[in-house]
Structure 1
Amino acid sequence: MKSREHWGARLRYEFDKSMAGGAIALIGWLALISLIVIILAGLFLSLTGIAPEGGEPMGFIEGAWESLMRTFDAGTMGADQGWNFRLIMLLVTLAGIFVFSALIGVISSGLEEKLSELRKGRSRVLETEHTIILNWSPSIFDVISELIIANQSRRNPRIVIMANKDKVEMEDEIAAKIADRKNTKIICRSGDPTDLYDLGIVNPQTSRSIIVLSPDGDDADSQVIKTVLALVNDPNRRPEKYMIAAEIRDADNAEVARIVGGGEMQLVLADDLIARIVVHTSRQAGLSAVYSELLDFDGCEIYTLDQPDIVGKSFGNAVLAYDNSTLIGLCDKDGAIHLNPNPNRIIAPGERAVIISEDDASIRTWSGDMGIDKNAIRPIIKRGKTAERTLILGWNRRGPIIASELARYVAPGSQLTIAADTAEFESEVAALKLDPALLSVRPRVIDTSSRRALDNLDIPSFDHVLVLGYSDDMTAQSADTRTLITLLQLRKIGERADKHISVVSEMIDVRNRELAEVTRAEDFVVSNKLVSLMLAQASENESMAAIFDELLDEAGSEIYMRPMSDYVDISKPLNFFTVGLAALRRGEVALGYRRQRADDPDIRNLGGVVVNPNRSEKITYTDSDMLIVLAAD
């Protein structure tokens, strides 16, 4: 008895396991049932000799065939004759109806399950040389847009995205915001980028580059660091180095991220990058257009390439060796970046050129006549620093970084007034560790969108005005709306005082930039856009993060705008070779110029900024034109 119970339980257990196998197991059971019915019916017909009325008795094979036909098609039994034969075929047909009805249901259920699995985005990606984007944030659409532009010259480019988000929802959002994908295919997968198994779905082993975005929500930096850790320490990873560009919000987490990523990762400090560019552009109108031109793929880009033709030349001579490209620095054998080195430095074998050009295929040295007019070069003019008054309207987590960065550039005796109405604003300003003899800070708690409150600040008396978005306490759209109101108030104040007010505004959402243009602010620093551009560039150029660290570091060479008339005689047409030599004599590299004229088309909305102009073409400049230079001071 116990033995029978044991075998009965074992058979039920095995049956339950097979039923849990899914659609394939169910189809197998139905096929077995059909086979048993057909065999039993064939045996019964052959043994009993039952046959259709007027027909001869059937053998096993013929009886099994007749049963099979009635199993497949219930209408086959309609022509049967003889009640004994009809009864047997009726039973076979009923079994067939049961089996095939169940089979249709199983197949339908299996297809729905498979489609549901595909919609979940859990199938493995088998692409090669693809770009992977991990995590989801508002920056992702700008990153994708830039990669699409960069991929136009590639064959069958692919972008693979994985985030803790529904696959269909990701695809719908991308389709709504990115209409023209050109030749790039976008593939979405759902998963946890910090999980080794899920990372295997996007196949990082064969990827070209990997971008790790800072996701929405708390503790975003920890998620980024854990994702990079999972990538570089995967036991099944490829032996070759990855090319990873990762976004970190808080600079305090940068050191840990660098330890984790090592030489395989470029780190983009989002808040630090935005804060530095805000400070730079607040002091020099139009500078944000220069950074945008260098960062986006639609125009000139920065390349790090071997240039054998300039090896053995001095850096100064090498700068003048190009007509349609701009040499701005060198990358030594150890990978260290040196922007605007000493003009007399000899370029050694193995050093790569850091060069600005519209396309890497067009970079070649100039063999024609430079046509330099040395008589047009003006003597060096030294301009001293004077104390400045700066006003910051609004506050967010980048505020302390901006204030500290500003203190690195101003002359002693400068003043900074910070006006906002956020909860922890005053305590954060009080915690700033700035030398009051260099930059004194005064907080004012006011509603920055109120005209009366702004009038009390005496806006026209300030040299520079920075408007920050309340992005920590409001959504992107709400913060930008308040910023727009503040900008409109500043425009009215400037018109009433009949004075030009230098305003730099931070915009969270790039779509609001066009609305902000009616306020006539000098520059708009679009936060998410700049970070997205930087991440996209870093995924294509392994030295990009180091280049911009140098560009935005007060200790190195930075981008400045200075009057063209300080460098050359603007009374006659000159080519840019002449302007470039004038800059080199001051230890600077000329990058381009800024002209604002009614007859100059501004197709790319860069405010008259031209980076990397053709050096052999002669241009007539005016007193209002500015020269864009890379200089140590």
Structure 2
Amino acid sequence: MTQRRTPFGDRARYWFDSTLTRGAAALVGWMALLCLAVVVPASAVLVWTDPDVPASLADRLAEVWRLTGETLRLGGATGTPLRAMMSVLLALVTLLYVSTLVGLITTALTERLTALRRGRSTVLEQGHAVVLGWSEQVFTVVSELVAANANQRGAAVVVLADRDKTVMEEALSTKVGSFGRTRLICRSGPTTDPTVLPLTSPATAGVVLVLPHDEPDADAEVVKTLLALKAALAGEEGRPPVVAAVRDDRYRLAACLAAGPGGVVLESDTVTARLIVQAARRPGISLVHQELLDFAGDEFYLTSEPSLIGRPFGDALLSYSASSVVGLMRGDSPLLNPPPETPIAADDLLVVISRDDDTVWLDGCAELVEEAAMASGPSTPARTERILLLGWNRRAPLIIDQLRRRARPGSVVDVVADRGEATARQVREVDAHSGTGLDLTLHHGDVTRPDTLRRLDVHSYDSVIVLGRDPLPGQPPDDPDNRTLVTLLLLRQLEEATGRELPVVTELIDDRNRALAPISPGADVIISGKLIGLLLAQISQSRHLAAVFEELFSAEGSGVRLRPAPDYVLPGSETTFATVVAAARQRGECAIGYRSHDGSSTSPGYGVRINPPKGERRRWTVEDEVVVVGRD
């Protein structure tokens, strides 16, 4: 067998590569040879072309050596070999010292810059907000904190997550936009490590928010983070308020214990289920929730008013022309929409909705009430409901439970889901605990197939709720939105074929998909992560609001409701909003706004107006709705 001859160039290259594998010594040797190969010939050319070149060859070679030594900083002494060798030795020692010093300085600077890029330096702030964890909620939370700090100097938000600092900063800058006066500081590291948490200076923080990530073990991670925070603050005199969120109520007690006294823990799935059901029962209510929860409009405040002490609560409703009173905070317990005759105690705080905390001022407006325009008939009676639930996920049992809590006897809920999503046993378990006349039925079918929806008389339902699947392990967290968008497209096709609009309530995971959803303007879209983020941001400014929101969004008690305007004022009458407030007071409710039918398809508010001035006059139509805090 003949051996193939390797070309000389390939053999030379292979030999060269092999010598480089021997380490730094080989690399230094090659660099020295390369430099000499260039410097020595160039020095010789300079010497031989010099008009004053020495005549003898020895003198010329000595001049070449001198030029070479000066160029390479190897010393240029001539004379005896010993003298030349000592010159080279001193030059090498100098070179070694200088290069080592430069290397040490460069390494130290590189390590420092790397540490700064990785977010490993300690934050030195006072009264800042600390956000622990990373999920889709972080963008909403940071955005709302920036809005809340718009009129404050020196405000800071510190985000700690197990991600690259630069990536976090770029993502927040892209989605949040301008931070105004608020300084955003990102730090990298696991939130469950007590030795990492001091990077955020939690002991001097104004509030600490713990966000659940988008993985299945999110609740356990939240509990571990709270325990790590407790360990990191051990020995500190004071602890900042802690606000956290978990998905499953099984983890809430553990999270509350880990958060410590004064900590607030939300159940995100339960809150989401409540808001979905409220939107299904009264279309447009999600727009009201959005207005109440973000810092861009009016929000909740607690205020004291000594001049109202001892007077009935009903008098407070018409005591503020630019704010809406909705209840009392008695100790740590909220009394939303108490009976009008309830006396205001000395320690009570008023729960009001206002543009800002400095816009809550007392100026009676009872003279603006026009009793002739007030309606006096009975309220619109509640009726049985027919709800169609398309899809199934971990929140579906909570939604059905919320539906049955206030369901009239004879109400119907039809569930359509794949066999792999919901089983008859699951639905029977939910039905067994209903304890009401709610008729619950499971229909198997793929809600992304046109034939499944055509078999249903979707227009016979009072509301259609579209849910996405729970993401499978390894799937992107917003993957369920893909199926939801397909289902919405099919429902839109049915709307166009019949010419009738469907009252659809949609649950989405990613806020960016809201613009892609083929739904009518002003339709109810529940973006669970965004709503929970808004709640966390609101409670971080005042932990007492946690109890207020708990009652507002509960199935029982006083909550936010949309009522027909003819229940309060005569249709076609032009009157003030103060008249509506007085009419609601007679019915044992607190009016806080309205939704105009004419503006229901116009952004950005879609007809919703929260906390209008009491003196605002408008003509009320049969299709208008009044936003109240009251009971069903």
TM-score greater than 0.5 by the shorter chain: yes
Verify the 8 A CA contact 1:74 1:96 in the aligned structure 2.
no
- Tell me how far apart the structure 2 counterparts of residues 208 and 269 of structure 1 sit (CA, whole Å): 23
Deviation, 1:595, is 0.3
Output the CA distance in 2 between the equivalents of 1:328 and 1:232.
36
The letter for the 2-side match of 1:304 is L
Match of 1:492 in 2: 493
C-alpha separation in 1, matches of 2:570 and 2:250: 48
- Residues 76-95 of structure 1 mapped to structure 2, 5 A cutoff: 90-95=88-93
Distance 1:77 1:168, change over 3 A: same
Match of 2:176 in 1: 178
Tell whether the 8 Å contact from 1:390 to 1:416 is kept in structure 2 after alignment.
yes
Worse overlay, 210-219 or 433-442: 433-442
State the partner residue of 1:456. 455
Query: Are 2:450 and 2:490, in contact at CA under 8 Å, matched by a contact in 1?
Result: yes
1:233–1:355: structure 2 CA closer, same or farther, 3 Å change rule?
Answer: farther
Q: Any stretches of 5+ residues in structure 2 without a counterpart? A: 1-70
Shift of 1:253: 1.5
Q: Which amino acid aligns with 1:438?
A: G
User: Match for residue 50 of structure 1?
Assistant: none
Letter of the 2:595 partner, please give it: R
| Structure 2 match to 1:547 | 548
Aligned to 2:256: 258
- 1:425 maps to 2:422: yes
The corresponding residue for 1:532 is: 533
C-alpha separation in 2, matches of 1:235 and 1:509: 34
Query: Partners of 2:419 and 2:164 in 1: how far apart?
Result: 35
Instruction: Trace 1:186-197 onto structure 2 (pairs within 5 A).
Output: 186-197=184-195
With over 3 angstroms needed to count, the CA separation of the structure-2 counterparts of 1:521 and 1:628, relative to structure 1, is closer
Give the match for residue 523 of structure 1: 524
Alignment of 1:617 onto 2:622: no
Task: Say whether residues 1:389 and 2:389 are aligned partners.
Answer: no
Query: Shift of the alpha carbon at 1:357?
Result: 0.5
Q: Give yes or no for the alignment of 1:336 onto 2:337.
A: no
The Cα RMSD (Å) is: 2.4
Deviations 1:6-55 (A, max 9, x none): xxxxxxxxxxxxxxxxxxxxxxxxxxxxxxxxxxxxxxxxxxxxxxxxxx
> Given that residues 420 and 448 in structure 1 are in contact (C-alpha distance below 8 angstroms), is that contact kept between their aligned partners in structure 2?
yes
State the Cα distance separating 1:98 from its structure 2 match.
Answer: 1.6
- 2:560 match: 559
The 3 A distance-change label for structure 1 pair 218 and 479 is closer
For each residue in 1:393-445, what CA deviation from the matched residue of structure 2 results, as whole angstroms up to 9, or x when unmatched? Answer: 01111000000000011101111110011624114223213447511211111
1:511 is matched with which residue? Answer: 512
Q: CA deviation at 1:229?
A: 2.6
Structure 1 residues 286-325: aligned runs within 5 Å: 286-325=284-323
After TM superposition, give the deviation of residue 327 of structure 1 in Å.
0.8
Work out whether residues 233 and 239 of structure 2, in 8 Å CA contact, stay in contact via their aligned partners in 1: no
- CA distance in structure 1 between the aligned counterparts of 2:522 and 2:367, rounded to whole angstroms: 39
- Cα displacement string for residues 273-329 of structure 1 (whole angstroms, at most 9, x for unaligned residues): 110000001010110011011110110111122233432221110111011111111
Q: CA deviation at 1:173?
A: 2.2
Q: Quick one: distance in 2 between partners of 1:204 and 1:119?
A: 21
Does the C-alpha gap of structure 1 residues 260 and 77 become closer, same or farther in structure 2, counting only changes over 3 Å?
closer
Q: Distance in 2 between matches of 1:464 and 1:84?
A: 101
Is the contact made by 2:365 and 2:578 (CA closer than 8 Å) also made in structure 1? no
- Which moves more between the two structures, 85-94 or 225-234? 85-94
Q: 1:564 to 1:208 in 2, by over 3 A?
A: same
Structure 1 CA distance, aligned partners of 2:451 and 2:520? 18
Which amino acid in structure 1 is aligned with residue 616 of structure 2? E
Change (3 A) 1:407 1:88: same
Distance change in 2, residues 1:88/1:312 (3 Å): same
Cα distance in 2 for partners of 1:196, 1:305 equals 38
Q: Distance in 2 between matches of 1:358 and 1:325?
A: 8
Equivalent position of 1:414 in the other structure: 411
Matched letter for residue 255 of structure 1: L
1:110 to partner: Cα distance: 2.5
Q: How does 1:463-478 map to 2 (within 5 A)?
A: 463-473=462-472, 475-478=476-479
CA deviations on 1:209-240 (whole Å, 9 max, x unpaired) are 11100023232212212222332454545323
Q: For residues 337 and 293 of structure 1, what CA distance do their matches in structure 2 show?
A: 21
Q: Secondary structure at the match of 1:364?
A: coil
Q: 1:116 to 1:340 in 2, by over 3 A?
A: same
SS in 2 for 1:256: helix
CA distance in 2, matches of 1:632, 1:572: 26
Give the corresponding residue for 1:166. 164
CA shift in 2, pair 1:477/1:248, >3 Å:
closer
**How far apart in 2 are the matches of 1:511 and 1:187?**
25
Q: Is the 8 A contact 2:414 2:442 kept in 1?
A: yes
Residue 40 of structure 1 is matched in structure 2 by none
Q: Could you tell me how far apart the structure 2 residues matched to 1:199 and 1:258 are?
A: 19
Q: Which amino acid aligns with 1:624?
A: E
Q: Find 1:143's aligned residue among 133, 141, 144.
A: 141
Length-normalised TM-score, structure 1: 0.83
Match of 1:62 in 2: none
Show the counterpart of 1:113. Answer: 111
**Residues 1:462 and 1:253: Cα distance change in structure 2 (over 3 Å):** same
Q: Aligned letter for 1:156?
A: G
Distance 1:382 1:368 in 2: 26
8 Å CA contact retained: 2:123, 2:201: yes
**Counterpart among 341, 345, 364 of residue 342 in structure 2:** 345
The 3-state SS of whatever aligns with 2:102 is helix
* Contact 1:231/1:237 (<8 A) preserved: no
Who is 1:379 aligned against?
376
**In 1, Cα distance between equivalents of 2:579 and 2:627:** 14
Letter in 2 for 1:386: R
Q: Secondary structure at the match of 1:431?
A: helix
C-alpha distance in 2, partners of 1:520/1:429?
33
Judged with a 3 Å threshold, the aligned counterparts in structure 2 of structure 1 residues 492 and 309 are, in CA distance, closer, same or farther, namely farther
Quote the Cα distance in structure 1 between the aligned partners of 2:442 and 2:371.
Answer: 51
Task: Compute the displacement of 1:585 (Å).
Answer: 0.6
Residue 595 (structure 1) aligned with residue 596 (structure 2): yes
2:101 corresponds in structure 1 to 103
- Number of aligned residue pairs: 559
Counterparts of 1:387 and 1:518, CA distance in 2: 26
TM-aligned CA deviation for residue 587 of structure 1: 0.5
Partner of 2:27: none
Give, in whole Å, the separation in 2 of the partners of 1:80 and 1:106: 34
1:572 and 2:566 matched: no
Offset, 1:175: 2.9
Report the CA distance shift for 1:505/1:608 in structure 2 as closer, same or farther (over 3 A). Answer: same
Shift in Å, 1:174:
2.1
**Letter matched to residue 408 of structure 2:** A
Letter in 1 for 2:369: I
Q: Is the 8 A contact 1:213 1:224 kept in 2?
A: yes
The runs of 5 or more residues in structure 1 that have no matched partner are: 1-72
Match of 1:606 in 2: 605
The one-letter amino acid of 1:279's match is V
Greater alpha carbon shift after TM alignment, 499-508 vs 236-245: 236-245
